[in-house]
Amino acid sequence: MLGSLAISLSELVLSLGAIALMMVAAYAGDRATRTISILAVALFAAAAIIAVHGHWGIAFGGLYVADAFSAYAKVLIYVAAAIALMLAPGFFVSTGGLRAEYPVLILLSSVGMGMMVSATDLLTLYVGLELQSLAAYVLASFMRRDTRSAEAGLKYFVLGALASGMLLYGISLLYGFTGTTSFTGVAAGMADGLSTGELFGLVFVLAGLAFKASAVPFHMWTPDVYEGAPTPVTAFFASAPKVAAMALLVRVSIDALGPATMAWRQIVIFSALASTILGGVAAIGQTNVKRLLAYSSINNVGFALFGLAAGTPAGAASVLTYMAVYIVMTLGTFICVLHMRGADGQPVETIASLSGLSRTRPGLAAALAVFMFSLAGIPPLFGFWPKFLVFDALVQVGLWPLAAVGIATSVIGAYYYLKIVKTMYFDEPANVIAANDKVAEGVLVTFLALAVSPLGYLAIPFLDQVSGVAAAALF
């Protein structure tokens, strides 16, 4: 038992820390929110260090595993959650909704995400996923006096309950037809051929997980929730849970459903193509920046799924590299969105308000342009590299027609990213966005912009090594 607790120490630290901070919030009230947020970031740093340098192995009788794959995913999750947490105080102070419960909810959601990426059993998978989701539903409706936020939370809850039901039904089918809920047991049950019941179970499990990753056709919640939720919450949703969902999808597909690769590959290919096409086309007519970024996230999930479709160590490694670069680009973009404020200090979210930004706020315009070019995958910016890796993984297994279609769909997505750059640099100034004096956010956005600039290519040897080791842990 002590050995299992040592292996799951990351989750233990975050759980006990969240409980302690909840007590502080109960006694000290909202005035302690900044202190609680700083302590929460410190807990994330400690959990990330433990995930990498702590005990690895199988815990709780095969329900949980700490390995290179889970360590890689947890570091990305904790870093993304910590950055999203640091962005919150400035936003909520100006909108009057800063509450001490916010950092605690982020911590509890991250505990669930840690369990998701370490799950080796369908029951652990479900418990982790629900823990992450329950905190997320509250976060989406955190500004409860704002109609859009309340609506976002309700939509997310209702559709999330539907997805959980589908996932549970799939788990029950896999358990009924294989006689076990462990990933290795499910894989052994499928090794002698895929029965109709197992096939249906596989489809429902992948559907439930696709909802969490916001992959088409289970993407319908994403634009409304991204637009309605407070911007720091949207930044959190677009980064940490996305990494957790994709990592879980990779582990389940390879660990539990490995013998049925030909079956799930068809589902993943359909979802990847649909996500890249819909994410590209539907974003073109958007006028709200956050809705556009919602479709952008759907589009990027599609590209990451191309790597999973390969079903090889190189494909899994390309997904991990893609998610690492994706969270840098996404968080940087959302920091720029947080800087979009009018003279009255209230958030401005329309794309039209960016008109002529290069002449009124040149630094902000330059940073946002870097993130847009990188999200579009235009060389020499670093966003090109992960797209190259996923397409290369497809070509290696002979799926070059799929890679060709993927390259073509990336051109569709480039249109709306470049539209934002055109609005900032070639339209007449709207003079809507006021100056911002937040130095810490300015430093952070500069660092993230440099990370996805051509300087990012210097990180390729390190990224290739760690993602390769992490992916090898699954095979």
Region at 214 (left for phi over 0; alpha for psi -120 to 50; beta for the rest):
left
Q: How far apart are CA 392 and CA 383, in angstroms?
A: 15
Q: How far apart are CA 419 and CA 231, in angstroms?
A: 22
Q: Which pLDDT band, with edges at 50, 70 and 90, does 413 fall under?
A: confident
Q: Which pLDDT band, with edges at 50, 70 and 90, does 386 fall under?
A: very high
Q: 232-259: per-residue pLDDT in tens?
A: 999 999 999 999 999 999 999 998 888 8
Look at 346 and 192; give whichever has higher pLDDT: 192
pLDDT higher than threshold 80 for residue 277: yes
pLDDT higher than threshold 80 for residue 90: no
Region at 60 (left for phi over 0; alpha for psi -120 to 50; beta for the rest):
left
Average pLDDT of the residues of the chain: 90
Mean pLDDT of 182-200: 90
The amino acid present at 352, given as its one-letter code, is A
Q: Which pLDDT band, with edges at 50, 70 and 90, does 97 fall under?
A: low
Look at 89 and 204; give whichever has higher pLDDT: 204
Token pair 């720091």: residue:
232
Mean pLDDT of 112-126: 93
Q: What percent of the chain has pLDDT over 90?
A: 56
Q: What share of the chain is helix, strand, coil (3-state, %, to 5)?
A: 80, 5, 20
Pick the closest to residue 350 from 418, 403, 427, 291 (CA basis): 291
Q: How far apart are CA 27 and CA 25, in angstroms?
A: 6
pLDDT at 16: 95
Q: Which pLDDT band, with edges at 50, 70 and 90, does 371 fall under?
A: very high
pLDDT higher than threshold 90 for residue 110: yes
What global pTM score does this model have? 0.93
Mean pLDDT of 141-162: 85
Mean pLDDT of 196-200: 91
Q: 11-66: per-residue pLDDT in tens?
A: 999 999 999 999 998 888 888 888 999 999 999 999 999 999 888 888 898 899 99
Q: 309-360: per-residue pLDDT in tens?
A: 998 999 999 999 999 999 999 999 999 988 888 777 777 888 888 888 888 8
Lowest mean pLDDT among 21-30, 126-135, 145-154, 176-185: 145-154
